[in-house]
Structure 1
């Protein structure tokens, strides 16, 4: 390929691809011709042309920005340098690998961000303020089984004897009213975590993953603030179902406030969806089961809803779009594009089928459990939602869409303020992305629901790199905790 740089009516040719202006110029390719080094020196003194500025923007880079290696490339290079006894530092002089730092590193700067309370939104007898945390605490067995993801960490920072006190200290520090924890190892929960949480005033509900898995999900709540109405474990595995053959689980818990002056129900769902980036069909089916459970358990008109967890999906993915918009049209959508984990999909592009899951699951396209047919008379057909004219399974299977009616909003946006960089909730040797969420039903026209008051800010990839990556000596998971404060309005708006 031949690219021409035209500035002040002077031209130079490059081969080997394109180049990007860098305040001066950085060449991505080789300059050809005699005296190429002299051309470089001349170009270094010239400002970038409008054409190169446009090219830089198309690549998502500023004219003065160097191409940054992905985190796993930087860590691999850091490991090689460490083995040769060299200093390990990033492009800005900061330590990339925590093992090479030799000492404690500063945690990423996370600030409390508040939202203004509008008129008529003040607290009172019909409102309850509460804080909610969602946190994947990294199961020790999973850490051990995936040790290659944490080769950048100091070995002592990965020991459970070091990690447990750090994790419990984080929970004490934030002191949330409701905790949604993922990757909670069953034996650690029974022998250590449950008692520690109870000592802090929590009651706990736990669901272990099915099969031979050793971790699960936990929901804990302050007994001084809430009483437990019901606890409903959700198993996504269905024997004999070729799609729902994975052992992920969830929890749907109903809580009643002890204060507030009025009744009300808080539906809290917590889950950890399948990781596999190529199985978006499985993720959507698991999510449909969870949404159906939420809808069935929280049919009371005054119920507010929270959906927390590690959804293994990025903010711009079709899966998150479905959750926030309430609908998804998936004709020609590849299964490995559902979660957004793969920027460049690999392997064959297997499209989602229609319907995605079997009608035998008993969940319709609105992610609701089917009501049993009132009779076998004409107009009622098994597998078709009640109240919808029976058109036959063949016609119903051609609509290529999903929907739900929970009306969810995210507590966190995908970008950081004020620089607009991407928010990150998990960081290890193969990924730095936002996959954890606190979703809620917003305060609506009928005066019921949750109003976001504030949240603990997230960090960006650069901040986490400066802190030594995750986990590190002070932060003992490969995820960061999400923390949001809400005002729960229980009655009609004035």
Structure 2
């Protein structure tokens, strides 16, 4: 009979717990035994003793000196107390709690007035594999230098003005948001972001609260990994009566170009369009400008096909096309959508555009450019592409507008927009993502009215 497996290592990827964001430990068993093949028992405990800094007496504490179970509220206090640490070893003072007066002098803790600490008391709070800290756990996110930033992690913004404009009109709201896939949210890509704020276990609760707070009738999400959708987003959003449907660009590519292997290989980029209204995530690579345009054109062709199939015309049903188009204002994809036709700026070097019309008949207009949600917007201006927001993607290597909500202006009108994120909040943590904003993109939300 084989001996039961033993735990060789236990760790938490998030070294700084945050209220409302789950903690899931990584468990490594001896001899490489997979953890999922064993029955594991979990116990989570919360201290019910209010811990104060052993140096200055302040709370909360963020550091512990393991040799004597003393706690400190800052790196500075830990450093100040550390000068007496060698004396502690020399005098053999290993008892827990605040030092006696004799011990304080031996350790260099002279002139401080301390209160005796009590033995730490703990209460069990959970027996499942994942624990979500609550406000009762008194945990807060900290900046890299240890300064407290509070527990707020999302920004709730209102529509411009005091009331929504469609209170007595038939309409809907639509949100588009690139939530930043876990495979891209790495320390190498975002070295300025606190390490504890990058894991999906932290960001997913942050993002979920943000999505629910917007209360959009339709959500268009991009960079949603399949396992994250199936295991988290779909069941969580289903609680609020949301459902989704996927259509892959690869399916279209295989249908249209199955006989040309070179063209097919160039077009297979694993980008996805969701057709609730019409939601897309266009390929991001700058060297594939023709693929960006190809995908945008086929998105519009698919919209036109569905309109014709359902109503016999492309002009009877309102359309919204939203998403991360990975294209700047004035680029070929943006021009095609906004103007209805385009001449490719760099031609067609790979021949993937030769059979495309590079035009459409839908009267599309950008919601953000039409109404404007930034200081330079002007409703009278006809140069709509210059009225897009200054950015929807903000990192240290790139700042620009890549996300849009296009709509058919003959059937819909814009009644309100979500205000753009304040620059100061974006720059507070250098760039996006950050502990406050869990994606490198900003969300866009528009309220639409049906024209009668």
Summarize the alignment of residues 233-312 of structure 1 with structure 2, pairs less than 5 Å apart: 238-239=257-258, 240-242=261-263, 243-253=266-276, 268-299=277-308, 300=311, 301-312=315-326
Q: Work out the CA distance in 2 between the residues paired with 1:275 and 1:160.
A: 21
Q: Work out the CA distance in 2 between the residues paired with 1:181 and 1:131.
A: 14
2:188 is paired with a residue of what secondary structure?
helix
CA contact (8 A) 1:109 1:459 kept: no
- How far residue 319 of structure 1 moved from its aligned partner, in angstroms, is 2.4
- How far residue 476 of structure 1 moved from its aligned partner, in angstroms, is 0.9
What residue in structure 2 maps to residue 6 of structure 1?
Answer: none
Are 1:104 and 2:149 counterparts? yes
Q: Work out the CA distance in 2 between the residues paired with 1:175 and 1:271.
A: 20
Are 1:357 and 2:371 counterparts? no
- Provide Cα deviations, 1:310-335, integer angstroms capped at 9, x if missing partner: 000112323212211111123xx23x
Q: Which consecutive segments of 4 or more residues in structure 1 shift more than 3 A?
A: 97-103, 105-111, 114-117, 121-124, 206-210, 233-239, 351-356, 414-417, 419-422, 459-463
- How far residue 159 of structure 1 moved from its aligned partner, in angstroms, is 1.6
- Provide Cα deviations, 1:457-487, integer angstroms capped at 9, x if missing partner: 2236555213542111122111111111011
Summarize the alignment of residues 329-368 of structure 1 with structure 2, pairs less than 5 Å apart: 329-330=343-344, 333-334=345-346, 351-353=347-349, 356-359=352-355, 364-365=356-357
Q: Work out the CA distance in 2 between the residues paired with 1:209 and 1:98.
A: 41
TM-score, normalised relative to structure 1: 0.52
Distance 1:327 1:409, change over 3 A: same
Distance 1:482 1:108, change over 3 A: same
CA contact (8 A) 2:396 2:430 kept: no
1:323 is paired with a residue of what secondary structure?
helix
CA contact (8 A) 1:423 1:458 kept: no
Q: Work out the CA distance in 2 between the residues paired with 1:328 and 1:115.
A: 40
What residue in structure 2 maps to residue 378 of structure 1?
Answer: none
Q: Work out the CA distance in 1 between the residues paired with 2:145 and 2:248.
A: 36
- How far residue 355 of structure 1 moved from its aligned partner, in angstroms, is 6.2
1:195 is paired with a residue of what secondary structure?
helix
What residue in structure 2 maps to residue 30 of structure 1?
Answer: none
Distance 1:424 1:460, change over 3 A: farther
2:286 is paired with a residue of what secondary structure?
coil
CA contact (8 A) 2:185 2:199 kept: no
Are 1:313 and 2:327 counterparts? yes
1:483 is paired with a residue of what secondary structure?
strand
Are 1:411 and 2:434 counterparts? no
What residue in structure 1 maps to residue 171 of structure 2?
Answer: 129
Give the CA RMSD over aligned residues.
Answer: 3.3
Which structure has more relative contact order (CA 8 Å, sep 6+)? It is 1
What residue in structure 2 maps to residue 435 of structure 1?
Answer: 402
Aligned residues: 288
What residue in structure 2 maps to residue 165 of structure 1?
Answer: 205
Q: Work out the CA distance in 2 between the residues paired with 1:101 and 1:409.
A: 46
Query: For 2:191, which of 148, 151, 173 is the aligned residue?
Result: 151
Q: Which runs of 5+ in 2 are unaligned?
A: 1-141, 378-386
What residue in structure 1 maps to residue 338 of structure 2?
Answer: 324
Query: For 1:452, which of 414, 431, 436 is the aligned residue?
Result: 414
Summarize the alignment of residues 67-86 of structure 1 with structure 2, pairs less than 5 Å apart: none
Task: Judging by fraction of residues, say which structure has more strand.
Answer: 1
Are 1:177 and 2:173 counterparts? no
1:314 is paired with a residue of what secondary structure?
coil
CA contact (8 A) 1:157 1:473 kept: yes
